[in-house]
Structure 1
Amino acid sequence: MAALAWLLIPLIAAVGGAIWASWAARNRTIGDVTELAGYARFRDAMEKSHSGSEAL
């Protein structure tokens, strides 16, 4: 019975590693579209605020 327990430890570790790898490789690009749009608006606003300050 002890040999069976020692064989189950690597099996459990392999299953846990496979679950973690599938979780780490998931597609997380759903929220990027709104974040990129917000960054584009920020960049446009910064360009507009500096356009009139060249009179120094």
Structure 2
Amino acid sequence: MPSQIPELQRELDAYLDHYNRRRPHRALGGLAPLEYLARIRGEAVPTESQMC
């Protein structure tokens, strides 16, 4: 089982990235959560390289 944990972590990370950075949310006016947060704070939307 330990050999499966790194693969599971990669899949979870990819899902969270998609959910928070790319997937539009109706409740947020069609924006992804990080884009919405950046807009209400008056900031630029973080890029992939800034998130790593």
Q: TM-score, normalised by structure 2?
A: 0.41
Which is richer in helix?
1
- Point out which structure has higher relative CO (alpha carbons under 8 A, 6+ apart): 2
Larger Rg: 1
Q: TM-score, normalised by structure 1?
A: 0.39
